[in-house]
A and B are shown apart, each in its own frame.
Chain A
Amino acid sequence: MKTTAQARAPKHARKKLSKLARREELQGYLFILPWLIGLFGITLFPMLFSLYGSFTDYDVTSRMNFIGIDNYARMFADDPLFWKSLYNTLYYVALMVPLTTIGSVLLALMLNEKIAGMRVFRTIYYLPAVLSGVGVYFLWIQLLNPSTGLINTMLGWAGIPGPAWLSDPMWTKPAIIMMKLWSVGGGMLLYLASLQGVPSQLYESAKLDGASAFRRFWHITLPMISPVIFFDVVTSFIGGFQIFQEGYVMTDSGNGGPMGSLLFYNLYMWNQAFGLFNMGYAMAMAWVLFVIVLVLTLINLRMSKRWVYYEGGDD
């Protein structure tokens, strides 16, 4: 521990802030005051309220009695639909994140070639990411039509009898994942930018040493873009856990589809909160999801030290 005067100086310097510096600090706080008000009022306060509410039987209009951990106990011990919806969401995330990440990276690699007309290709591949919302779901309901939809027609050309995508509980989640793969253009853009930041002399010296294309990819490209991959994986994870719209729109009035296969966690929470008015229970569900996502993100962060290579320094 350094105890030289130099180390202590900054502390003293803080105390003796000149009037000017103090005023500037106050001005700074005033400037961000609206955002702070928003943070506390719109984000933090509702979060704390919901944390308290999860320990009550709150139903918005008639009661809010403290019931301790009853909601959580019921959720874990007594609610088969909780486990089912959690399974559905985990299945979706576990498949969606790796597939879309790999898909985006491969797509970016292909679109990084210097071929004439590459801009056109990049635009085409990026377009699906721009479309969003209910219209896209209805489009996909048409595409996934078991007898006349494009997907099954194309599978038919390859001799594979396509399944009833939205009626067969085994294939409903893969259908949604397929829908997400269609819009990998968004991630692709990120990777494209970072690929172009990889210094070409690394590739040149590797070629001189006789490295094959695959080894160049594995030992140069991947490590150099690994920070972006890490960012993409973490945000995909967090976003994936929030899936709701697909289940709500593509099933009959949000009931969760054939044999509850599209009953995602958020959809079940929505049904509990706004259909049955079990708001306290839904708040408990929300906090459980928060903890799960937090833990997974922390695991991600710790594991990242092993495979993310930061060019800037640090080990």
Chain B
Amino acid sequence: MDATDQFLATYSDKSFLWEKTLEEDFEAFLDTGVDPREQKHVKINEDGEEEEDETFKWMSEKILDGVKTKQPSLDSFHEKITMLTGIKHEINEMKSSIDIGWLRVNSTPLIKELQNTIVLWIDTYINFLLDNTVKQIKNIENFINEVTSGITTLPKEAKTKQDKDLLMKVMGHLRDVKMIKDRTLD
């Protein structure tokens, strides 16, 4: 009986892999974080009073488009991925065959399944950060391209409606750049 309990105990710290659902556990992990989109962003104006800092809103519309911002700190991600990687190493080192008295237990199918499952867990955490980073870099590139083409042609005068529309468009790009440049790439 002791030998059986001992054998089962080697799996106890991995029980979350079959007791919990990856999607639910990951969502719960993300929910522990704060979403900067839901936070109030303020700055101190020239009169020393607090006022809304609009630069985050502008930056978020352009650079954080499609990016999931509700997430815990990078330290929490590091801690979680390190823990999961540790479990993965433990699983890799588990004996595939063990004798308990007269009984020989073949754990190969179980270990194989656990290896596949733990890799899925690790990938979910890593891919979340990776996808977010790729999206942000692509958004920055799109923004740069948008501004580059938007300021190529400048109005010579502002008499016709067409000229005025072009002037407004260029002014819009300048406003975007002003709002975004210091907020991005931190």
A binds B: no
B-side residues, CB < 8 A to A, are: none
A-side residues, CB < 8 A to B, are: none
